[in-house]
Amino acid sequence: MSHPLSQRTRLLAALAVFAALVPLAGCGFSTEDSGGGSNDSGPEGITLYSGRIPAAIGPAVDSYEAQANRDVKVRFAETADLAATLVEEGDASPADVFFAQEPGAIAAVAEAGLLAKLPRDILDRVPARYRDPEGRWVGVTGRARVIAYNKDVVKESELPPSPFGLTAPKWKDRVGWSPASSSMQEYVTALRAKYGDDRTKQWLEEMVDNGAVSFPDNVTIRDAIAKGEIDVGLINHYYVAQAIGEEGPDYPVAVYFPPGGLGSLMLLTSVGVLESSDRKPEAFAFVRSLLSDKSQAFFTSSSKEYPLAKGARPDPSLSVPVDKIPVSDASLVDLKEIQGTIELMQESGAL
Amino acid sequence: MARSRPAPVWLLAAGALVGAAAVLPAAYLAVVVFGDFSAAMETALSSRALETLLRTAALTAAVVIASVALALPIGWLTVRTDLPGRRLWAVLCTLPLVIPSYVGAYLLVAALGPKGMVHDALGIEPPSIYGFLGAWIVLTLFTYPLVLIPLRAALRRIDPQLEDAARAMGRGPLEVFRTVVLPQLWPVIAAGSLLVALFVISDFGAVSILRFDSFTAEIYIAYQSSFDRVAAAALGAVLVVAMLLLLFASSRVRGARRVHRLGPGTLRPTQPYRLGRWRWPALGFCLLVVLVAFVLPVGVLIYWANKGISTGSTSWNTIAALGGNSLLIAVWAAAAGAIAALVVAALVVRYPSRMTRAIERLAHAGYALPGILVALGLVFFATRAVPALYQTIALLVFAMTIHYLPLAIGPTASSLVQLSPRIEEAARGMGRGPAEVFRTITIPLARGGVMAGAALVFLHAMKELTVTLILSPIGFKTLATDIWTQTTYGFYEASAIPALVLLAVAAVPVYLLSEQGAAPP
């Protein structure tokens, strides 16, 4: 009996031997260090759970590693996934520091009682409006909610003074938004605080009726504007700055900071130290490093975000001054408020 | 008869172990749900949850039907006819399985979406692919090989003498197919459809990009927006119940039609049907499927990769290391999955009883759930029970194994169903013990199915993202996590190279899988 399988079996055996050998050599193959951490720059140091991708934090982590002579280990994943993981890990978490891309996630971890109180000197590094009133987390950088538009199709002067104006018939089927993204949800939470639930719901319903197109996130809105699928979109400002950096000045998308009411809104990326950490002094030192002039300058020049530490200067390309952008009150990242927003968005058909 | 004999204790014990391992994510859901039962019920029984469930059920049914409708003709054409280049078509038609659904969805939008590449190239605007239609198309195109693979293997294994007899009695080809071939295929169609259905209900990547509000989207809103772990777990529990219903339906089809033949020894090639003039439409059909489901997405990737390479941002050493890590996890998960699946399949096929069926159902629990719930379940148990293993390669492989175990159970069970228990009984009659019979008879004869199952686990473990991000050792990166890192910020060109490497590596088992159904040498 001939076995057509024998060749296959040999291949499989080779693969199995290969796989069996690798763990003996350690923890898999080491990939080049492109995003901070794990290049054995010193004795073992803190563990960071990062909702921000390697390119967004790498040099800031490297700079701390060099200065503290400690090796930072970083786990990268979606911010919300990491928040959920931290809650399940509880006291057993290997993490010392949590760097969140979205504000709701760090509020959820704080509310679960997992974050330590930060020392006074850290809290004082940022203005009070950029930190938790109870001192469990601080903002590191800010991203502004803006209107992005295709400058080949739309003139800046045509754009309304606030997103409320996007419900006009002129904008029918031309606007993109991302109701499922936490940045949009926080914006809606801020609208509710300023204008009340009824006005907010009315706006959401009018947007839906006006054919607002739902995208999963900011990047897909930006790309859809660039392709001409839609003409304007509600997104975070720095996604456009990044694309211009990559594609050059001919990139067709521009940003507009709506001056009226809650036209734009500052959303914070933020950092906190885990209560369960047994390396708190090091963790605090890492947070101080993120708020240092050097790291703040890196954040604003590389990803075009607003630096939040006192005295830090925004990148020259950010023409709208930081104090002209309203920031949501820290109580707005309260979980009950976020849940209320989700319900309102679901009732209005936006989500 | 095998039916009346109770399963050997060692096999039952092994099966119980597999079932207990696979049920961990569902057990985690139960712990959270019973922690706040009334809130969980409020979410699970809300009209919104019900509506979404119905919408998802409709999508699932549509994808399953379309997958079978694609797989049946392709399977038949590439195994039983003189279609020119049928072995090549078999490989090409199986390859769409290597494309991760989120990549496939994104590429299809880039190609066929509003103002997409097709629009730019031809100047025509294709109909909108967002919503139900797009989700239906994408999920069908990238999962139908789950039906095609076992179907081809079965078409090749079934005894041609029955068909010859039917033909000799004057029945036409269609009549023979309907009355003789199809009844023998139902078990594998049911098994393949089950995998497609479970994939559809647990997929998040494709449906979110194509803006279809499926049940997983509700789960993501629950924990990603409102950080409500009780609501997320309650919705996950609904998926587990849906999975049990699907399994019940599938096992009814499988159980009702038991088909054995006496091992592969009597296999002989059938006379292939001559297609004649029909080979042109047949070729056109295969070509169309391959173009849309494979050439188009891969073409977009190559186009991006080219742009990425010309900007010089690629480090081949890094890519090789990422590939090595992906391979490491996938090979281990495939091996573990194959063994676990053989245990479960042997129990349920050879010793059907309430208990063995329960074990089989438990073993499916991890596949119906989105990756995040599987990951969180293991975070919950590992940090409490085995902290030393938390975030190690061992735990990651364990997670992948229970997440993708049903992929291996299906083909393994199908090959056991077609293998007559009388061969095993004969060996036992000659005085061999049950363990020895299992080792010397059952495993070698079911090898095709076991290998197919291992290959499917391998393939899916290569593509897996969320579980890897959360449970891998810190700093451990794979091709899939690299693609994620790049696409999060929209660096599609940079993501195209790891994506192509992933496709190339995953294509190896797909090639072996499709050879499974090739004509005998």
Q: Which residue of B has its CA nearest to A243?
A: B490
Here the tokens at position B84 are 């020119």
DSSP state of B273: B
| Per-residue pLDDT tens digits for B209-236 | 888 889 998 898 888 877 889 999 999 9
Q: Are A182 and B447 inside 8 Å of each other by CB?
A: no
Residue A220 CB: number of other CB atoms within 10 A?
23
pLDDT at B507 over 50: yes
Q: Does A244 touch chain B (CB under 8 A)?
A: no
Pairwise CA distance, residues A219 & B292, whole Å: 25
Q: Are A28 and B328 inside 8 Å of each other by CB?
A: yes
Best residue of A32, A81, A181 to probe chain B, by most B CBs closer than 10 Å? A81
- For B81: left if phi > 0, alpha if psi spans -120 to 50, otherwise beta; the answer is beta
> Which residues does chain A have within 8 Å of residue B490's beta carbon, measured at their own beta carbons?
219, 222-223, 239, 242-243
Report the complex ipTM.
0.89
Give the A window 105-164 contacts with B, CB below 8 Å: 105, 107-108
Altogether, the residues listed in chain A come to a count of: 351
Give the A window 258-317 contacts with B, CB below 8 Å: none
Q: Is A107 exposed, middle or buried (0-12, 13-18, 19+ CB in 10 A)?
A: buried
pLDDT of residue B183: 84
Q: Does A21 touch chain B (CB under 8 A)?
A: no
| Per-residue pLDDT tens digits for A105-148 | 898 899 999 999 999 999 999 999 899 999 999 999 999 999 99
Is residue B469 within 8 A of residue B481, CB to CB? The reply is yes
pLDDT at A5 over 80: no
Q: Which residue of B has its CA nearest to A37?
A: B475
Assigned superfamily of A44-142+267-319 = Periplasmic binding protein-like II (3.40.190.10)
> How close is the nearest chain A Cα to the Cα of B83, in Å?
22
Q: Are A8 and B521 inside 8 Å of each other by CB?
A: no
Pairwise CA distance, residues A76 & B474, whole Å: 9
Domains in chain B, CATH or no CATH each: 2-515 (1.10.3720.10)
| Per-residue pLDDT tens digits for A43-82 | 889 999 999 988 889 899 999 999 999 999 999 999 999 9
> Which residues does chain B have within 8 Å of residue A227's beta carbon, measured at their own beta carbons?
114-116
Q: What's the mean pLDDT when you consider all of chain B?
A: 86
pLDDT category, B259, cuts 50, 70, 90?
low
Q: In A163-308, which residue ranges form alpha helices assigned H by DSSP?
A: 182-209, 218-227, 237-247, 280-290, 293-303
> What ranges do the domains of chain A cover?
44-142+267-319, 143-265+338-347
DSSP state of B97: G
Pairwise CA distance, residues A287 & A271, whole Å: 7
| Per-residue pLDDT tens digits for B350-375 | 888 888 888 988 898 888 899 999 99
Best residue of B120, B226, B300, B325 to probe chain A, by most A CBs closer than 10 Å? B226
* Cβ within 8 Å of residue A247, ≥6 positions away: none
Indicate if A143-265+338-347 has the same CATH topology as A44-142+267-319.
yes
Strand pairing category for A265-273 and A97-100: antiparallel
| Per-residue pLDDT tens digits for A152-208 | 999 999 999 999 999 999 999 999 999 988 889 888 988 988 899 999 999 999 999
Nearest by CB to residue B229, choosing from A8, A84, A180, is A84
Q: Does B310 touch chain A (CB under 8 A)?
A: no
H/E element, A335 = helix A335-347
Pairwise CA distance, residues A257 & A324, whole Å: 10
Is residue A184 within 8 A of residue A178, CB to CB? The reply is yes
Give the B window 450-469 contacts with A, CB below 8 Å: 451, 454, 466, 469
Is residue A296 within 8 A of residue A311, CB to CB? The reply is no
* Cβ within 8 Å of residue A72, ≥6 positions away: A36, A37, A38, A45, A46, A47, A48, A61, A64, A65, A286
Burial A130-160 (b: 16+ CB within 10 A, else e): bbbeebbbbbbbbbbbbbbbbeeebeeeebb
pLDDT of residue B347: 92
pLDDT at B340 over 90: yes
- Higher model confidence: residue A1 or residue B217? B217
What pTM value is reported for the model? Answer: 0.89
Is residue A295 within 8 A of residue A289, CB to CB? The reply is yes
Instruction: Calculate what percentage of chain B has a pLDDT beyond 70.
Output: 93
pLDDT of residue A18: 62
Note the CATH architecture for domain A143-265+338-347: 3-Layer(aba) Sandwich (3.40)
Q: Can you say how many angstroms the Cα of residue B330 is from the centroid of all Cα atoms in its chain?
A: 14
pLDDT of residue B37: 94
- Higher model confidence: residue A37 or residue A233? A233
- Angle at CA of residue B422, ends B418 and B425, nearest 5°: 130
DSSP state of B317: H
